Structure formats: structure tokens, C-alpha cells
Structure 1
Amino acid sequence: MSGRLASSARRLSALDPRLLDVALAVALGVGTSLWEVLELGKGRPADAQSLALTALVNAPLALRRRAPFTVLVVSTSAALLYHLLGHHPGLNSIGPLLALYSVAAHGSWQAGAGGAVLVVAEWTHASVNQPGVALWSALGQSLIVGGWAFTTGTIVRLLSARGKQLVALAEQLAAERDAAARRAVTRERVRIARELHDVVAHHMSVISVQSGLGRYVALSDPATAHATLGVIADTSHEALTEMRRLLSILRVEAHEQDEGRYSTMSRLSDLETLVERMRAAGLNVRLTVEGPARTLPPGLDLCAYRIVQESLTNVLKHAGADRADINLTYAPDKLTLRVTDDGAGPAPGPGRGGHGLIGMTERVRLYQGTITAGGRPQGGYEVLAAFPLSPSEEDERI
């Protein structure tokens, strides 16, 4: 039963409020007219005049949201004229009351206060016309009813205004959160771009040295010159690849001050040093390497190192873990990094959408890789990253 009522309420709330107002006006007008026709012997009998005034009292309620004060004036004036002409004293009083509520709910409090005076006057006059009702009783009843309609409408108006303020505040907070996330992404991309810039600069230095050597031995030692050209070709290819990545990441506008220099030549071969530093900080770290290690492009090597470094830093700072495991797997077509810990819960940095995960995601995306981070069923936290690799020269010969 309660389920059907809830379903009906949801369907009603989905309707256009203006349709509900029209239905309310029609229901009140038709209901009051039928009551007036059937209630014989109380006041003047129903006629065309009384029915017309009844329609004038209730029909304007269909516009109570768009012109609430005008509806109040028309409805109350028609009701007052209806009762002055001696028609049924107990009818046509609900319309002005609903109009007063509408003014208080959708208009200003000044208009509501003025409308309350009109409704109280009309209700008092209609009540006095009923047999056995004293003026003080009619006035007290009118003040209570009119005050109730005015107060209820005012509360609804204040709650509606507060709701709009909360919606606006929520939208503002969402916009600020999105802006903060975009700024974090931009900062990480600028940081990565700085590192890639130095990688490219390193490649260019190698090309410069090798080209100088090649020119020096071009005539005296053709074999060395040929090998030098091979080094230049390979290095320039890597430099162009890193330059494309650098240009793609710098498409994001970021005009931020330099936050300091970053070490750019770190690579996976330096993980033992990183592990020793973490052990000295009190974290028991185990490093496992599976598969034959291979030479990686410098940018990718640096990217993989940074992911391990960021993961261990978050474990040390946030996870409350005693142990962390690093698993590095080399496959012919893929490099996989897995960092796990035995902490009590997710690290706030990467696990909850912090800047740590943003930086990791941007790095991995730059090399067409994938990354996931989250809690493990058996407890602790896991960061898993995978990078596609092109076949090495040894693989191609095989």
C-alpha cells in the first residue's frame, strides 16, 4: 500500500505544476458549484450570478504561480461580492485562502502581508453572516486561518530560497573541485614536460658529440664513422619520439612558476637505491624482477621509476604499512609494475583521487599504458601499471 502511494506521489511530482494548478482550480470550481446547487435553503438559491462569481473566485487559481497577487485580489474580491449579495456564507472561502498561501510562497512578504489583510477581512465578513457567530469569534477564526496560510507560504518560500542557495553552492563547489583537478593535471603535465625536456636535451647532447666524432673520423676510420651514424640515427629517433610526447603534453596551457628542479635521469636500474632509502625510513620493501631486463626508452624508464617512487612515498606517508612489495615484470611486449602493501586501508593520495594518482595517470597515458589503484580483498593497497613495449633487437632476431 505504502509502495503504491509513494509511486503515485512520484508521478504527481513529475507533472508540470501549472497542470496541477489548473486541475486544482477546476476541482474547486466544480465542487463548490455542485455544493451550492445541492445545499438548498441556506442563503439565496443558486443562480447564474452565484455560479459566475464562484467561477471567478476559483478559476484564477490556475495562474496562482505566475501572478499570485493579482489572483489573490480577483479571488478575494469575487468572494466578498458573493457573500455581500447574500449567497451561501460557508462557500467560496477556500479560494482566497489558497491565493494568500501562493502570494506568501511565491511573492514578497510585503505582498503577503497586504493579501493577509484582504483575506482576513473577507473571512470575517463571511463568518459573521453565519447564524450564531459573533464578530469577535469570526475575527479570531479569520486571524488564525489567515495567519496559518501566510506562515505556511512564507516557510515554503524560505525553504525554496534556501534550497536554491544550496544548489548554487553545490554547483560552485563542483566547479571549484573540477578546476582544482584541472590545475593538478596541469601541474603534473608541466612537471613531466620538464623531465622530458631534459631527456630530449640529453639525446641532443649525444647526437652533438657523436656527430663531432663522426666528422673527425669520417676519412680516417670509415667503420667508426659508420657506427657513429648508427648511434646518431637511433638517438635522433628516440629524441623525436620524446619530443612528440613533450609537444603533446604541452598543449595544455600552464603558466606556473618554476617549483624547483627535478632529477630527470632516474631509471628502473636505480630502484635498489630507492628501496634502500625506503628501508632506512622504516619501511620493509622487497623488490622482485621477473624476466630478462631490457633497455627501455629513457622517457619510459623515467616514467616507470616515478610511478614506483610515488607509490612507495604514499605507502610510507599514508598507508600505515609495515611491508611493501615491488614486482617488476619484463615481457616481450609489455612492462608491468605492481606495488602492494599490507596497510590498514587505501593511501589517501592515489586511492582517493589525490594528486599522486593524477600524476601517475598522466605519466602512464603518455606512453599508452594502463594503471589501476585500489584496496585488495585480503587487505592493503595495490598500484598496477602496464606499458606496451616494442620488440627489442634480440626479439626481432629471434
Structure 2
Amino acid sequence: MPSPTRPPAPAASPSAARTRRGTPRPAPHRPARPWFASAVARLRTANPYAVDAALAALVLFATSLQWIFPDEGGERLSPQGWLLGAATAVPLIWRRRAPFTTACAVSVATTAQGIHHAPPPDIMYGGLVVLHATAALSTPGQRRLMLVGWLTGVSVTMHHKEGTDPYEYAFQLLSVVCAYALGVLARVQRAYAAELEDRARRLERERTAGTERARAQERARIARDMHDILAHAVSLMVVQAEAGPVVVRSDPARAEAAFDAIATTGRDAMTQLRRILGVLKEEPGVGAARRLPQPQVAALAELVRQVGESAGLRTELRARGEPRPLAPDTEVAAYRVVQEALTNTVKHAYASSAVVELDWTEDALTVTVTDDGRGPAAGADGGHGLIGIRERAGSCGGVAEAGRGPDGGFRVVVRLPAADGRQAALG
């Protein structure tokens, strides 16, 4: 039985074929901006002298029309009148560079035009422009002087004009006031926009400065962690390496334990370094969940035991009071403080014993590390390790003290704040 034939596929249109071959699709249609908004945007970015020259030409043209085509029965423009009309328009080219001087020149020309060359202008185009410019660009004293002068000038001009009715008088005064008010609004808007731009720049600078501070703090934290880890691990490894050759023939088992301790310490240091550096560079497929947690106060017992076994010290951990929740950074700080203090004991103190005390109170944890080694030299303020201890304590709101113990030796005391319930939940 013959198989049913499929109907032929419709032929693809040329445009569809071009699209499949990779021809980019046309961009979606975007509504055009209103012509007025586009014109205003172009004017703001144009050359200011070109804009002012065009405005002066427009005012001159409007003034010339008023005189070339007078009202029925009126007088035509005289050469002197046309020159005075040009004097009200040409200075507008400098209205932004010298607004008050331009306003004075236009004011004198407009007043002379209205008094000595009848009929006076129906609309003071140049005067309205300079009033706007003066209100927008001049100082407060110049603005007030120009407003009073123009109101007085309009009154004098309208007084010399025959047949002036009250409506025309009111129109001229209202024109002056409106031009001045529009200039004030332009000045206020410009000041408001400048304030917004300045505030945006300040916020951007503050945001950048905050980011830089956070980066610097993070770099300092990582540097402290790496210093503590490396100093602790290297100190223990040096102690074991120095003891190994001494007992390799007399006590092979002890020498083997020393070498095992070196390997264990090195592996632990590498693990902690990978964990710290993991926040700087995420490897593909390795997320935060696979990184080991930061050390906490609960790990101090293992740390004290490890230091005692590796360095041959008699170490002891004592705790008083009821343990309370600590913020995550405070947990790490407490561990690193004890680690750095024991590292200093191993490297510098030549001690035979060290005691770590944890004193829990309602609002703080006091960590004390005391050894029976030689105390600090007179006037010594400690090296980088003690500086790091103070910085760690200060970074989480605590304080640190270091110095000679009451019975000799060296003592480090660090007081760290305990977290309240809400901080513990957030942590």
C-alpha cells in the first residue's frame, strides 16, 4: 500500500530566508521625541554665541516689522528710530557674558526709542529678553535695580504716548513682571539642577570611598589571617625540624612523630590558606559551601593541644562562666588572638608552659594567654604580632593589652564583646 504523501512545504519568503541566513532583524520602532523637547535639547548643546546671535537677529526682525508696517495712519520708521531699534537687539549677543551691561544698554536704547521717536514700540522685545537674562544671571542687587528701572521706564514711556488706555498700560507692566518672573524661575531651576548634580557627584564619591575602605579593610583582614596562619605553622614546623635531627638516632619514634607533626602542620596551614584565598578567587565548580568554616572559639581546645604536642610546651585551657554567642568576626578574632599569642610564646618566649583562660561574662569574653618565659625587653612595644592582635580586637569592638605578667613571663589580655540574640541570629 503506498504511503500517504505529505503536502509540499510552503516556499519561504526572501525576507525569511535572509533572516535565517543571519541577516540582522530591523531594530524595533521607538517613538520619536516631541519636537519641542528635541529642539530644547539641541539648543542646550549648541554654541551659546550662535544662539544669542540668532536671538538678536530675531528681535531686530520683529522690531523692524513693527516700524516698517505701522498701523493705519501711523508714522513710518525713521533712520534714527531704526538705529535705536537695532540698539535694542544687537547687544543681546553678549547677554550671557555681561547680562547687566547688556541690560543697561538695551534699557537706554528702548527708553530713547519710546520717547523721541513716535510712535513708541508696542512690544519691547529686546527689553523682555534682557529682563529675563538679568533675572536669571545677575546678582541680587542688579536684578532689583533692573526691575525697578524697567517699571519706571515703562511708566515714563507710556506717559509720553498719546491715547494710552489702562489696558495697554497694564499689558506693558505685566510683560515686564512676567519676563522677570520667568528669569527667576530659570535661575532657580538651574540652581536646583546644579545642586542635584553636585549631590550625585558627592554620593558617587562617597560610594567610591566606601568601596575603597571596604576593600582596604578586607585586604587588611586577609593579611592578618595569612600572617597568623603562616607564623603559627612555620613556628611549629621550625621547632619540630630542630628537634628531629637531635633525636633521630637516640629516639627514632620521637623523630618520626616530629616529622609527622611537621607534615600535619603544613597540611593544616595549606587548608586554611586555601579557605582564606577562596574569597578572592572562586574556582569553577567550587562554591562557598565546599569551603571549610572559619575557626571558632570551640576549636581553641584542639589548637592548645596541638601547640603543646608540637612545641613541647605544657599547655592548659581554662574556662570560667557560661559561654555566650559571639558574632562571627568575634569568633574568628578570639581564635586568631590565641593562635598569635601562642605563636609568640613558641618563637620568642623560650617558655616551658602556657595557659589560655576564657572568662565569660554577661556581655563580653575575656581571653588571657600567659606564659612563663622571658618577658619583653624594657620599653618594647611589641612587634607585628602584637599589633595584629590589637587590630583584630579593635575591628570587632574589643580592646587588647600585652605586657609582663604579674609573676613574670608575658601576658596577653583581650576583651571581646558578646553578641545579643538578634546579632547572633543575623550571624
- TM-score, L = length of structure 2: 0.51
Aligned equivalent of 2:224, options 194, 198, 202: 194
1:29 aligns with 2:60: yes
Paired residues of 1:120 and 1:142 also in contact (CA < 8 A): no
Distance 1:94 1:103, change over 3 A: same
Aligned-pair RMSD on alpha carbons? 3.9
Aligned equivalent of 1:15, options 46, 66, 74: 46
Kindly report which structure 2 residues correspond to 1:1-398, keeping only aligned pairs within 5 A, or say none.
3=33, 5=35, 6-39=37-70, 44-91=75-122, 93-134=124-165, 137=167, 139-217=169-247, 297-304=271-278, 336-337=286-287
What's the offset of the Cα at 1:227?
11
Within 1, Cα distance between the matches of 2:285 and 2:242? 35
What's the offset of the Cα at 1:201?
1.0
Within 2, Cα distance between the matches of 1:132 and 1:2? 50
Within 1, Cα distance between the matches of 2:245 and 2:169? 111
Larger gyration radius, structure 1 or structure 2 = 2
Distance 1:205 1:42, change over 3 A: farther
What's the offset of the Cα at 1:303?
4.7
What's the offset of the Cα at 1:27?
1.2
Amino acid at match of 1:16: N
What's the offset of the Cα at 1:212?
0.7
Within 1, Cα distance between the matches of 2:200 and 2:188? 18
Within 1, Cα distance between the matches of 2:159 and 2:48? 35
Paired residues of 1:57 and 1:79 also in contact (CA < 8 A): yes
Q: 2:414 maps to which residue?
A: none
Within 2, Cα distance between the matches of 1:34 and 1:168? 45
Paired residues of 2:241 and 2:258 also in contact (CA < 8 A): yes
Paired residues of 1:29 and 1:55 also in contact (CA < 8 A): yes
What's the offset of the Cα at 1:154?
1.6
Within 1, Cα distance between the matches of 2:194 and 2:33? 29
What's the offset of the Cα at 1:226?
11
Amino acid at match of 1:94: Y
Within 1, Cα distance between the matches of 2:80 and 2:275? 93
Paired residues of 2:222 and 2:276 also in contact (CA < 8 A): no
| Structure 1: tracts of 5 or more residues without a match | 239-264, 268-295, 308-328, 341-355, 357-398
What's the offset of the Cα at 1:301?
3.1
Paired residues of 1:104 and 1:150 also in contact (CA < 8 A): yes
Distance 1:334 1:144, change over 3 A: closer
Within 2, Cα distance between the matches of 1:213 and 1:160? 79
| Structure 2: tracts of 5 or more residues without a match | 1-30, 291-328, 330-427
What's the offset of the Cα at 1:210?
3.2
Amino acid at match of 1:64: R
Within 1, Cα distance between the matches of 2:227 and 2:276? 12
Paired residues of 1:72 and 1:100 also in contact (CA < 8 A): yes
Deviates more, 1:76-85 or 1:220-229: 220-229
What's the offset of the Cα at 1:213?
2.6
Within 2, Cα distance between the matches of 1:34 and 1:230? 106
Paired residues of 2:102 and 2:130 also in contact (CA < 8 A): yes
Paired residues of 2:66 and 2:121 also in contact (CA < 8 A): no
Distance 1:334 1:47, change over 3 A: closer
* 1:3 alignment partner, SS class: coil
What's the offset of the Cα at 1:53?
1.2
Deviates more, 1:87-96 or 1:62-71: 87-96
Q: Identity across aligned pairs (percent)?
A: 27
Within 2, Cα distance between the matches of 1:117 and 1:43? 31
Paired residues of 2:135 and 2:184 also in contact (CA < 8 A): yes
What's the offset of the Cα at 1:41?
6.1
What's the offset of the Cα at 1:339?
5.0
Q: How many residues align?
A: 259
Amino acid at match of 1:299: L
Distance 1:140 1:232, change over 3 A: same
* 1:161 alignment partner, SS class: helix
Within 2, Cα distance between the matches of 1:80 and 1:47? 16
Q: 2:298 maps to which residue?
A: none
